[in-house]
Structure 1
Amino acid sequence: MTSYATAHAPGTPTWAIDIGGTKTLLGRLVGGVLTVAAVIRTPDDPAVLAAWLRRHVPGRVARLGVAFPGGLDEDGRVTAWPNRPEWVGYGLRDALGRIAHTVVLRDDGESAAAGEATRGIAQGRPDALVAVFGTGLGGALVLDG
């Protein structure tokens, strides 16, 4: 079971990226408040996204959470993404590791379910089914918290 609790000092921002088939959002969580810091149309070339992030994230941050809609191997390399086949083979964790000391990669449906279970409508409920409708379809099931 994966734990989604953040281990960082109070007041220290946690940065997050939601990479989507159409757009990518960069967010910052400080004191329990999530703010969208920047938005870009998701580029076909993942190196363009990495350069954009380096311009918007101040220096090298402690922690970066990433919601990603494609397949990843254990090293954080893209194995499949029907919306962006050009990304297959790209070392996403390595590229983002130049921006953050700790990079946490999660499936976007899994990320949505974790968010609903910890901060959203499913908070306090032991079980939840979360469906994600966007450029693609996804979701996850939370059982026993």
Structure 2
Amino acid sequence: MTRRLAIGIDIGGTKVAGGVVDESGTITHRARRDTPHRSTSPSVVEDTIVDCVDELRTAVDPADIVAVGIGAAGFVAEDRATVLFAPHLSWRREPLRRQLAGRIPWPVIVENDANAAAWAERTFGVARDESHVVVITLGTGIGGALIIDGQVQRGRFGTAGEFGHMQVVPGGVRCECGNRGCWEQYASGNALVREARAMIGAGSPVVADLVGRLGGDVAALTGPVITEAAREGDPTARELIAEIGDWLGVGMANLAAAFDPGLFVVGGGVSAAGELLLGPAREAFRRQLPGRGYRPEARIERARLGPEAGLIGAAELARSGR
């Protein structure tokens, strides 16, 4: 019996991760490459994708492969073929599917990476039984995706779900998108590190333990370092994580007003803080929710599939043709 396998490729700022995914969402074989530097020409990134696919096709019977899905961190047009803009790569209106068509012998779809991760959680993860889902990915910034009536909502031009760039503080912190006060400037890995460095720069004694973890090298401070410290009981790290959680809850209350989901799924690297993040987020959500006390509240849960959700979802979207 022929298996209906699909290849998923997840393109991030630092790595290109690939996998052969079966119909149960299990990754049977993996490949990984470093992401070419952002100044590299688009063709080099495409070479990297093809290289991953070529490695994976040798690991299985190619006759079992039915499609290839590519998840890209950036704006993907409604045709699911063109990357309009990718902040970490040199893709600008790049006709990616066309460029790969002669080099990959299966149908190819291109998808926003957050949409792909959301579909993985909807199909195989924590959102399997929910028809209306908002997915928030907390990493360096904030990515997002929206599922309504069990379908990914991409928007008229393909760029829906960029929740990280909602303005939550008029005239606030400058964002890489060019605006000020975007949500991701207050509820992301970058925000977590910025606040910790501000405390260190101010000479606050409460960050002494955190600085000690770094051996005095403040440049080595990262979100995972703060998260690890918080999980090990460092009170200042826990306070910083809780502040991110507060802002997360505020933004989700705004999204609940707009979309009324039954479930928020929180993924990405910052979600490793678990309840240290989600507890404050739930409290802030309840405080800020319009009509609180008189309406059902969406659940807020941590994503289940981890960092491989993007490639699993890209593969499943390609296989199913959704």
Q: TM-score, normalised by structure 2?
A: 0.38
- Whether the aligned pair in 1 keeps the contact of 2:135 and 2:145 (CA below 8 Å) is yes
The residue number in structure 2 matching 1:90 is 94
Tell me the alpha carbon deviations over residues 38-92 of structure 1, each in whole angstroms, 9 at most, x when there is no partner: 11111133233134235314277530011111123437233211111x2224331
Tell me the alpha carbon deviations over residues 82-125 of structure 1, each in whole angstroms, 9 at most, x when there is no partner: 111x2224331123322142112111111111111111001111
Question: Structure 1 segments of 4 or more deviating over 4 A?
Answer: none
Aligned residue runs from structure 1 range 61-72, under 5 A? 61-72=65-76
Aligned AA (2:66): A
Say if 1:130 and 1:10 are closer, same or farther in 2 by CA, change over 3 A: farther
- Whether the aligned pair in 2 keeps the contact of 1:28 and 1:35 (CA below 8 Å) is yes
The residue number in structure 2 matching 1:3 is none
- Whether the aligned pair in 1 keeps the contact of 2:7 and 2:19 (CA below 8 Å) is yes
2-side partners of 1:93 and 1:103: how far apart?
Answer: 6
Say if 1:47 and 1:15 are closer, same or farther in 2 by CA, change over 3 A: closer
Judge which range, 50-59 or 18-27, deviates more: 50-59
Say if 1:102 and 1:120 are closer, same or farther in 2 by CA, change over 3 A: same
Residue 30 of structure 2 is aligned to residue 25 of structure 1: no
- Whether the aligned pair in 1 keeps the contact of 2:20 and 2:56 (CA below 8 Å) is no
- Whether the aligned pair in 2 keeps the contact of 1:57 and 1:99 (CA below 8 Å) is no
What's the secondary structure of 2:97's corresponding residue?
helix
The residue number in structure 2 matching 1:47 is 46
Say if 1:114 and 1:91 are closer, same or farther in 2 by CA, change over 3 A: same
Say if 1:65 and 1:54 are closer, same or farther in 2 by CA, change over 3 A: closer
Q: Name the structure with the higher helix share.
A: 2
Say if 1:72 and 1:129 are closer, same or farther in 2 by CA, change over 3 A: closer
- Whether the aligned pair in 2 keeps the contact of 1:65 and 1:103 (CA below 8 Å) is yes
What's the secondary structure of 1:101's corresponding residue?
coil
What's the secondary structure of 1:132's corresponding residue?
strand
1-side partners of 2:50 and 2:118: how far apart?
Answer: 29
- Whether the aligned pair in 2 keeps the contact of 1:72 and 1:80 (CA below 8 Å) is yes
Identify unmatched segments of 5+ residues in structure 2: 38-43, 151-322
- Whether the aligned pair in 1 keeps the contact of 2:29 and 2:56 (CA below 8 Å) is no
What's the secondary structure of 2:116's corresponding residue?
helix
2-side partners of 1:51 and 1:16: how far apart?
Answer: 12
- Whether the aligned pair in 2 keeps the contact of 1:25 and 1:36 (CA below 8 Å) is no
2-side partners of 1:38 and 1:23: how far apart?
Answer: 10
- Whether the aligned pair in 1 keeps the contact of 2:36 and 2:45 (CA below 8 Å) is yes
- Whether the aligned pair in 2 keeps the contact of 1:38 and 1:56 (CA below 8 Å) is yes
2-side partners of 1:124 and 1:112: how far apart?
Answer: 16
Residue 34 of structure 2 is aligned to residue 34 of structure 1: no
| RCO comparison, higher one (Cα < 8 Å, 6+) | 2
The residue number in structure 2 matching 1:4 is none
What's the secondary structure of 2:57's corresponding residue?
coil
Say if 1:62 and 1:90 are closer, same or farther in 2 by CA, change over 3 A: same
Identify unmatched segments of 5+ residues in structure 1: 1-8
2-side partners of 1:42 and 1:108: how far apart?
Answer: 15
Tell me the alpha carbon deviations over residues 6-33 of structure 1, each in whole angstroms, 9 at most, x when there is no partner: xxx8623111111111111101112422
